[in-house]
Structure 1
Amino acid sequence: MYELTMLKSALADGTAFRQCTFEVFARRLQNERRYGVVAGTPRVLEAVTDFVFTEEQLASLTFLDERTLDYLRGYRFSGQIDGYREGELYFPNSPILTVRGTFAECVILETLILSIMNADSAVASAAARMVTAADGRPILEMGSRRTHEAAAVTATRAAYLAGFVGTSNLEAVYRYGIPGSGTAAHAWTLLHINEDGTPNEEAAFRSQIETLGVDTVLLVDTYDITKGVQTAIGVAGTELGGVRIDSGDLGVMTRKVRQELDALGAYNTRIVVSSDLDEYAIAGLRGEPVDSFGVGTSVVTGSGAPTAAMVYKLVEVEGHPVAKRSRGKNTVGGGKRALRTHRATGTAVEEVVYPFNAEPPTFNNLNVTELTIPLMRDGEIVEGLPTLEESREYLAKQLVTLPWEGLALSKDEPVLSTRFVGFDAQ
């Protein structure tokens, strides 16, 4: 609402059509992270393109005058957007997105942009840490039941961007082409009982094998894990694809299950674990005989940080830098772009932010990567932007550039600093 009340006032006092620059950035990283992952950029661009007001919506805006309603009736964003590509790493004060246009057309995009980027980037940042903690072992996303029904789909996309290999959410499979994965829950085993009401785990496993094939994954912890594994191999044989454990001390249980599988000759049967995993629990299972992970709540909620805490601030008016000086919330005025320096080995050194229209600074003995790219021109999405698969591959490569200590699950400061060059003291 405050976006539209500001628009109303700006149209009244003549400032609505001043050329402005707004910037998306995060003052800090959430949840003790040492880096963030930019996610949701393509969704933002599509949302901005589609952002219009219907007559039914306008009729509900009774606090606006006719002049403002007329402006909104014909609203289409016609400005420029530059920023970090999806899958890029970011740090405190990185100029993640730069939006240029009139005050009127830019100011009403704040909530639209931040609601997408804050949610998607929080999920991708959490998921990237989980992928690192998994140390090459695949992770499946299975968190749809733990979040809003619409957020479940977009969270899946962000997790896949960060390196998850599949999802149980079929809307995400349909919409984004993410590989689908899923077999059975405890309800399937509980459904199968004898005439006297006693459990019949064998019947459940046999039916699943007959329906889905021997490569399926059987959930073995509904009753007794040891007996569950014996029953699973007894039904499926030693070529069973996998068993899933969803409870208990996973470190202890996976060792016992691996020993049991090997003793039964099922050397190639995989062990899949789930049960409220996050990056710390996954890291704690390094060295254990786990073949893959299923993660739900912690990834769709951004591992306890459901927002990336990004903000959308006015930094330039008619070419003049403007800056907020509020204590603890101060900003650096002026439009910005950024680059990242790397050693010859590929290891990242620092992030350098410089004025948007200035020549980039030069560096001796360091390689430079420009981070700010064109995303939208005159209201049209730039052609040739990376696909989801390309961004996924790009992020995997960027994580390798971080100094090794930057991948640790610690409470230290961000692994890279952000340095401003070419800005006057404000």
Structure 2
Amino acid sequence: MSQFDIIPPETIKSGAATDAYFDRTVETLKHADQNPQVVAEITADQFPTGEFELLAGVKDAAYLLKGLPIDVDALFEGTLFDGGPVFQIEGNYLDFARYETSLLGFLSHASGIATNALRARYAAPDSLVLSFGTRHVHPSIAAVVERSALLADLDGFSHVAAGDVIGREAGGTMPHALMICFGRGNQEKAWRAFDAAVDEDVPRVTLCDTYSDEVDEVRRAAEALGDALDSVRLDTTGSRRGDFRHIVREVRWELDANGHEDVDVFVSGGITPETMRELRDVADGFGVGGYISNADPVDFALDIVEVEGTPTAKRGKLSGKKQVYRTDDGSHHITLTFQEEPPSGDALLEPLIRDGEIVRDFDLDTAIERVRVDVDRTGFPKTDEETA
């Protein structure tokens, strides 16, 4: 028995991380000597809704299906979508049937996280925005959270092991635990010890709400570290915040009044897009936790839409093999593959796997740039009115 309740990667890759009814399906089809050639598609909404979400998890999904005798077309990671298929699989059904559960999990969870991260990003587009939420999820998926957050163009993240997995360096400064270890009234000792201990490349960001009024601790931190101080962080518990906007404004005022105009004010703790829109003109940065990491998964489903070349689908689903397009006005269009493409339409379903081999790479920087382009093309919410 494993020490942790974690399904290992080799089990996922084998197809054993599945729902029991897929095992029964495989057993039944083999018994009946049935294994049709099918087209299966993964969708959230059948028709465009105008409510865009951000596709993530494509890399994990591709490696899950690698080596199977199938072809897969998919939207690129970092594409905004609002309806129609994001994944399309062609092959004999038994070759991929048991992978549906894991495949949907890879795409649904990462896309939900990435979508909320993107909403946070554009709630304060000119601010520093960091992902702070991995403490709210199972540690085995920390890299999924942080990669999805970076895909949404966030500026950084906190989880060290996740950084090792995705090839990026985590960031962070000090928790309340550090302050408390030095004891009440010894905040200066904690800040100075941090300054003396950590690498000079680490920003000097002091936590300033542990024992006393935020303004008092900010003044003391500025006096203790002087020109070395880069930023102050307010992580005040909700029950003690009162008018948090007023507190942040007062902190900013006192910093400026005492010659610390270059010191930034960073806020964290229960931050949401609504909070960010309220504070973005007075705070320089945000640490966003549960709003990103605890995002609802996108409600993807996988459905067979063609069997042996004949369009078919269950009730409520659209039969037939499809293509989706982005037009110059940012709209998302869905057609059957034999229909004429819309004017100025760019096809979005492109090869991902051919006969079991992955035929694209998964460069995160390229995907982030794709997000930026799609945000501009689709008009993803940026203003108060659009995001309220």
TM-score of the alignment, normalized to the shorter chain, above 0.5: yes
Would the aligned equivalents of 2:118 and 2:152 in 1 still touch at CA under 8 Å? yes
1:319 and 2:309 aligned: yes
Partner Cα separation in structure 2 for residue 264 and residue 311 of structure 1: 57
1:98 and 2:88 aligned: yes
Deviation string for 1:133-163 (max 9, x for gaps)? 0122121111111011112221111011001
| Corresponding residue of 1:24 | 42
| Corresponding residue of 2:51 | 34
Would the aligned equivalents of 1:238 and 1:264 in 2 still touch at CA under 8 Å? no
Deviation at 1:393, TM superposition (A): 1.2
Would the aligned equivalents of 2:52 and 2:380 in 1 still touch at CA under 8 Å? no
Give the alignment partner of residue 261 of structure 1, picking from 255, 258, 264: 255
Deviation at 1:201, TM superposition (A): 0.8
1:286 and 2:280 aligned: yes
Give the alignment partner of residue 244 of structure 1, picking from 228, 233, 246: 233
Deviation at 1:21, TM superposition (A): 0.9
For 1:36-75, list aligned pairs within 5 A.
Answer: 36-49=53-66
CA pair 148-9 structure 1, distance change in 2 beyond 3 A: same
Aligned residue identity for 1:199: G
Deviation at 1:28, TM superposition (A): 7.8
1:361 and 2:341 aligned: yes
Q: Please state whether the residue corresponding to 1:259 is helix, strand or coil.
A: helix
* Identical amino acids, percent of aligned pairs: 27
Deviation at 1:179, TM superposition (A): 3.4
| Corresponding residue of 2:6 | none
Partner Cα separation in structure 2 for residue 220 and residue 33 of structure 1: 42
Deviation at 1:5, TM superposition (A): 0.7
Partner Cα separation in structure 2 for residue 140 and residue 26 of structure 1: 28
Would the aligned equivalents of 1:167 and 1:178 in 2 still touch at CA under 8 Å? no
Would the aligned equivalents of 2:147 and 2:166 in 1 still touch at CA under 8 Å? yes
Partner Cα separation in structure 2 for residue 110 and residue 408 of structure 1: 39
Name the stretch that deviates more: 246-255 or 269-278. 246-255
Would the aligned equivalents of 1:272 and 1:292 in 2 still touch at CA under 8 Å? yes
Q: Please state whether the residue corresponding to 2:252 is helix, strand or coil.
A: helix
| Corresponding residue of 2:72 | 81
CA pair 89-316 structure 1, distance change in 2 beyond 3 A: same
| Corresponding residue of 1:64 | none
Deviation at 1:386, TM superposition (A): 4.1
| Corresponding residue of 1:160 | 150
Would the aligned equivalents of 2:245 and 2:279 in 1 still touch at CA under 8 Å? yes
Would the aligned equivalents of 1:89 and 1:395 in 2 still touch at CA under 8 Å? yes
| Corresponding residue of 2:351 | 374
Deviation at 1:112, TM superposition (A): 1.4
For 1:376-391, list aligned pairs within 5 A.
Answer: 376-383=353-360, 385-391=361-367
CA pair 253-411 structure 1, distance change in 2 beyond 3 A: closer
Partner Cα separation in structure 2 for residue 409 and residue 80 of structure 1: 43
Give the alignment partner of residue 269 of structure 2, picking from 268, 275, 278: 275
CA pair 411-293 structure 1, distance change in 2 beyond 3 A: closer
For 1:161-200, list aligned pairs within 5 A.
Answer: 161-193=151-183, 198-200=184-186
Deviation at 1:215, TM superposition (A): 3.8
Deviation at 1:359, TM superposition (A): 5.8
Would the aligned equivalents of 1:125 and 1:162 in 2 still touch at CA under 8 Å? yes
Q: Please state whether the residue corresponding to 2:22 is helix, strand or coil.
A: helix
CA pair 11-382 structure 1, distance change in 2 beyond 3 A: same
Partner Cα separation in structure 2 for residue 338 and residue 230 of structure 1: 56
Would the aligned equivalents of 1:40 and 1:86 in 2 still touch at CA under 8 Å? yes
Partner Cα separation in structure 2 for residue 110 and residue 154 of structure 1: 19
Give the TM-score of the pair, scaled to structure 2. Answer: 0.88
CA pair 317-257 structure 1, distance change in 2 beyond 3 A: same
Would the aligned equivalents of 2:134 and 2:293 in 1 still touch at CA under 8 Å? yes
Partner Cα separation in structure 2 for residue 314 and residue 409 of structure 1: 39
Partner Cα separation in structure 1 for residue 147 and residue 167 of structure 2: 9
Deviation string for 1:205-225 (max 9, x for gaps)? 111111235941000011221
Tell me how many residue pairs correspond in the alignment. Answer: 360
What is the alpha-carbon root mean square deviation over aligned residues? 2.1
Would the aligned equivalents of 1:239 and 1:266 in 2 still touch at CA under 8 Å? no
Give the TM-score of the pair, scaled to structure 1. Answer: 0.80
Deviation string for 1:335-380 (max 9, x for gaps)? 111111114xxxx1x2221223x264242xxx32221110000011
Would the aligned equivalents of 1:239 and 1:268 in 2 still touch at CA under 8 Å? no
| Corresponding residue of 1:399 | 375
CA pair 139-28 structure 1, distance change in 2 beyond 3 A: farther
Would the aligned equivalents of 2:326 and 2:348 in 1 still touch at CA under 8 Å? yes
State the structure with more CA Rg: 1
1:336 and 2:322 aligned: yes
Partner Cα separation in structure 1 for residue 304 and residue 258 of structure 2: 66
Partner Cα separation in structure 1 for residue 27 and residue 384 of structure 2: 49
Would the aligned equivalents of 2:173 and 2:203 in 1 still touch at CA under 8 Å? no
Aligned residue identity for 1:401: R
Aligned residue identity for 1:219: L
Deviation at 1:246, TM superposition (A): 0.6
Partner Cα separation in structure 1 for residue 375 and residue 387 of structure 2: 18
Partner Cα separation in structure 2 for residue 260 and residue 47 of structure 1: 54
For 1:75-154, list aligned pairs within 5 A.
Answer: 77-92=68-83, 94-154=84-144
Would the aligned equivalents of 2:46 and 2:318 in 1 still touch at CA under 8 Å? no
Give the alignment partner of residue 207 of structure 2, picking from 219, 242, 245: 219
